[in-house]
Structure 1
């Protein structure tokens, strides 16, 4: 593996983790978004799935976002008969977003992003030193 492969793998990791951060932020922003019409569904939590991708020319694997899916866990129900989306019994479906899960996801994504950034910076430093030795 050469320097450009290392930088490419780190860049792919940073890209994947930035997508993960964006989705977690979107989930947190919509944690109270209910339906506006009777019987409608509220915001459904989004999930990110990764996949390993092999570059056949270099033999180097990196991470990519496979898909942005939807969490199929059931919605919580809250009693609020005055809400426009309340059912006949007065219950409103609430989004299946758990703030603690999203916060932990953002912390984990941040640490992974920082690790990839550090790898990229160290690789760049090694490359600079190698060029300086060749002068």
Structure 2
């Protein structure tokens, strides 16, 4: 694989991890919201990745295949004073686990940083290769 393909592979991974970070941030921001802007309970989202060939060579990158919503039933919390409570006093809340989301965020951040380090190492190698002839 050429050193130039490293930039394409790492760039595709950085783009996918950035979208993963945005999804995690959205999940965390809505963890305690009883209703979304549409009036429905917020459904946590997860990013699904897919391997893709890069520039028709033997390198493989990554792209976001889809963003899926959690289809499980919302968490029911007893709070009869809440304005959105049903006739039994329960409020439907999103199934967002902040601990899992923070772990997901750390994982995405580390993967993003690893790709930045890979690109920097490739850049350094290319620059050193250029100075060999001097």
TM-score over 0.5 for the pair = yes
Q: Which residue of 2 aligns with 1:104?
A: 103
- The alignment status of 1:50 with 2:59, answered yes or no, reads no
Which runs of 5 or more residues in structure 1 are unaligned?
none
Aligned residues: 132
**Structure 2: how far apart are the matches of 1:13 and 1:6?**
11
Cα distance in structure 2, aligned partners of 1:67 and 1:125: 34
5+ residue gaps, structure 2, are: none
- SS of the residue aligned with 2:62? strand
Q: Distance in 2 between matches of 1:56 and 1:118?
A: 22
Q: Any runs of at least 4 consecutive aligned residues in structure 1 with deviations exceeding 3 A, and if so which?
A: none
RMSD: 1.4
Counterpart contact for 2:9–2:54, Cα < 8 Å: no
Deviations 1:29-66 (A, max 9, x none): 11111128xxx631110110000001362121101011
Q: Is the 8 A contact 1:48 1:65 kept in 2?
A: yes
Structure 2 CA distance, aligned partners of 1:15 and 1:95? 27
